[in-house]
């Protein structure tokens, strides 16, 4: 069991992944009908895994983007099944590449 000092200094792994592309598995419902957006749509949820740019996270969920030009999506913790980010050595390589200008 860790000491109080160790647990206070521990940073959530998500903090290391902010600003990087991550894989998120989440529950998704059906899309609304573009012709009748006010009409309720019922169907079984399904598990989806996709890559997202992790912009931020908090006690309510994740803020992510599918593409850099897309608007931010809020994904509640109730829908999130799994988040996998890049390991430290991959983040270091990405940072070196970005520092060189791409």
pLDDT per residue over 35-79, tens digit each?
Answer: 999 999 999 999 999 999 999 999 999 999 999 999 999 999 999
The model's pLDDT over 2-39, given as tens digits with 9 standing for 90+, comes to 555 555 678 899 999 999 999 999 999 998 889 999 99
Give the start-to-end residue ranges of the domains of the chain: 12-31+40-99
- CATH number for 12-31+40-99 (one of 1.10.3470, 2.20.28, 1.10.1660, 2.30.30): it is 2.30.30
Looking at the DSSP bridge assignments, the partners of residue 52 are: 22
8 Å CB contact between 47 and 25: yes
Q: How far apart are CA 64 and CA 22, in angstroms?
A: 9
The pLDDT of residue 4 is: 59
What three-state secondary structure class fits 99?
helix
Number of C-beta neighbours around residue 18 at 10 A: 16
To which residue do tokens 């957006």 refer? 37
pTM for the model stands at 0.80
């Amino acid at each position: 069991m860790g000491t109080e000092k160790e647990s206070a200094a521990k940073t959530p792994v998500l903090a290391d992944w902010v600003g990087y592309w991550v894989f998120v598995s989440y529950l998704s419902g059906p899309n609304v009908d573009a012709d009748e957006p006010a009409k309720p749509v019922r169907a079984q949820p399904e598990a989806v895994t996709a890559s997202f740019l992790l912009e931020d996270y908090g006690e309510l969920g994740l803020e992510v983007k599918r593409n850099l030009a897309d608007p931010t999506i809020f994904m509640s913790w109730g829908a999130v099944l799994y988040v996998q980010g890049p390991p430290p050595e991959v983040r270091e390589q990405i940072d070196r590449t970005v520092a060189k200008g791409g």
